[in-house]
Structure 1
Amino acid sequence: MHLLTIFFSLLLALIDNDPGLTGNLLVERLVGAHIDLVSKEEYSQVGSMALTNILKEKLISEGRKPYVILVGESNSLGTWGYIEAIREIEQQVQIRKGETEFDDIVVVCGSGGTIAGLAIGSWLSSLKAKVTAYCVCDDPRYFYDYAQDLLDGIQANVNSRDIVNIVNIFTIGYMTFLWRSQFYHGRYLQSDIYDFSLAKGLGYAMNTSEELQFVKQVVEATGVILDPVYRYD
């Protein structure tokens, strides 16, 4: 059985009603994925690990051989994909011989795998770019600990707090703020709060006409297709 088939058998959608072809479900259904629908309440109460394990055991009892891919592929094995991405970036920078340089890598953080891989990759490479991650859920403490588990899984022998800066975005009323804290040996030294209203979008797979126009302009100018689905909500 192909891994693709196994993976699609384990897809969980967090909704109360079938959304049809919304967002990433369009691609998944185009390739014939079987999707198990899970309500947000059930996901919150039971958790992704328990839900996927239940489905895994069910498939095993049916004689199948499932392989569970965690949310965001955020396990130690998946971390290697982002380490490889940094290696490719490093090679491209070297080929351009000083024409392209950068000091920062900025990403959103929803599961922890991306930041763990990019951070350790940059730290080990000649890039030495500062990696900053903006939380779209949970908080910096959770993601520092989660990233640490992934790094320990590949025996990186490094503290996650030393190689990535994780900042929190939270909302009070209609205002969205950025909470940035400095760490030293696991302790908060100081915190600063900034108005960060422009960071919040409409939500998952929701875009303004201006944002879609921007995506169109970028792909026409560079050939790079930006993802209009994954948004902070």
Structure 2
Amino acid sequence: MSLTYPPRIHMARLPTPLQPLDRITEKFSTPHGGPRIWVKRDDLTETAMSGNKLRKLEFIAGVAKEQGCDTLITCGGVQSNHCRTTALVGARLGLRVQLILRGEEEQVPDGNLLVDYLAGASAAFYPARQYFAELDKLFAHWRDFYAQRGHKALCIPTGGSDGLGVWGYICGAEELLADCREQGFEPEHIICATGSGGTQAGLTLGCHLLGSRAQVTGYAVCDNAEYFQRKVRDDIEQWREAGNTLPDAGKLNIQVNDGYIGPGYAEADETVYRAIAEAAGQEGLLLDPVYTGKAFAGLLQELHRGCYHDTENLVFVHTGGQFGLFPHREKFSFLL
């Protein structure tokens, strides 16, 4: 199926590499076999704006410019990868950025928050209870705040995950499948971390539109499988309602593994930190404790249990997030 993309501002360095993880593959193979594990290096979309969020923001920023917006408003946790990327996109394109952040302001900014400030973004901090109860009102407040000062803002949802942002990983799926064909295989499974649902929605929809039989599975880092199945369907429905054709919609297979969330969002247990060390020590691959590390730790445990043993090729999508690793530095005391 030929895809017609909406307005887009090209900022990512694409295509990102597809690399085999042969040392991990060998270590986690079982007597029953197992897949060759590959990683799609979307942590390399751009040096500072690295990660999956930039793919989505190419399309979001394209619409913002088309609509004459001069301000971007978005939201997330204090260490949000999406907020950091939005701040840097705004700096590159000359757009104001207002962040609505969940949590307390750090006296000494670290990780993503430090980058937010370096990029010139403005940040407002709210306790979690107020943030979740009043997020729509907070967006309205800041949109009106800028309108009263003569600015036009585009409001971007959590993670850039909606019917517009989903285009980022429709495009990403097209690229990934082409990479696999170049390497001489069709992937049976594509694995990603799922935190706001948009990356999984785009990969699922992209594979469906392009006729791939690959099963996309999101490893949840918060909430549960039912929530993300609903969220992915909602994003895809928004995409369809924008005038896009969705053939055989009933055949969409949305798979979510919610067995490895651990203590909660942005909280990890030692299994995750050890998986991060494993990936770095075995493959020189740097993951983060919030998204990729948690999903990769879950994948390694599934492999150890013998899951995917009848699979030849499995692709793990590295969605970035390394800036969020450093505020967790004390959790790696087992390395000393």
TM-score, structure 2 as length reference: 0.50
Mapped pair 1:78 → 2:165: yes
Alpha-carbon distance between aligned partners in 1 of 2:228 and 2:162, rounded to the nearest angstrom:
18
Letter in 2 for 1:226: L
CA contact (8 A) 1:144 1:160 kept: no
1:18 deviates by 3.2
User: Over aligned residue pairs, what C-alpha RMSD do you find?
Assistant: 3.1
1:200 deviates by 2.4
CA contact (8 A) 1:132 1:164 kept: no
CA contact (8 A) 2:194 2:219 kept: yes
TM-score, structure 1 as length reference: 0.69
The number of residues matched between the two structures is: 199
Residue 164 of structure 1 corresponds to which residue in structure 2?
Answer: 253
Moved more, 134-143 or 72-81: 134-143
1:33 deviates by 1.9
Mapped pair 1:65 → 2:129: no
1:30 deviates by 2.7
1:17 deviates by 4.3
Letter in 1 for 2:223: C
Alpha-carbon distance between aligned partners in 1 of 2:247 and 2:204, rounded to the nearest angstrom:
10
Match of residue 97, structure 1, among 184, 198, 210: 184
Letter in 2 for 1:143: K
Percent sequence identity is 23
Mapped pair 1:115 → 2:200: yes
Alpha-carbon distance between aligned partners in 1 of 2:127 and 2:110, rounded to the nearest angstrom:
16
SS of the residue 2:166 aligns to: helix
1:225 deviates by 4.0
Deviations 1:102-121 (A, max 9, x none): 21122232322112211110
Q: Within 5 Å, which residues of 2 pair with 1:1-233?
A: 1=70, 4-5=90-91, 9-18=97-106, 20-47=108-135, 49-98=136-185, 101-135=186-220, 136-137=222-223, 139-140=227-228, 142-154=230-242, 155-158=244-247, 162-167=251-256, 169=258, 196=259, 200=262, 204=266, 208=270, 210-217=274-281, 220=284, 224-230=285-291
Q: Mark the CA change 1:153 to 1:83 in structure 2 (over 3 Å): closer, same or farther.
A: same
Alpha-carbon distance between aligned partners in 1 of 2:173 and 2:256, rounded to the nearest angstrom:
21
More strand by share: 1
Moved more, 78-87 or 31-40: 31-40
Gaps of 5+ in 1: 170-195
Gaps of 5+ in 2: 1-69, 72-88, 295-336
CA contact (8 A) 1:82 1:114 kept: yes
CA contact (8 A) 1:134 1:168 kept: yes
CA contact (8 A) 1:56 1:66 kept: yes
CA contact (8 A) 1:116 1:160 kept: no
1:129 deviates by 0.8
Deviations 1:128-183 (A, max 9, x none): 211122442262453254234333234242576632324363xxxxxxxxxxxxxx
Letter in 2 for 1:75: D
| Higher RCO (CA < 8 A, seq sep 6+) | 2
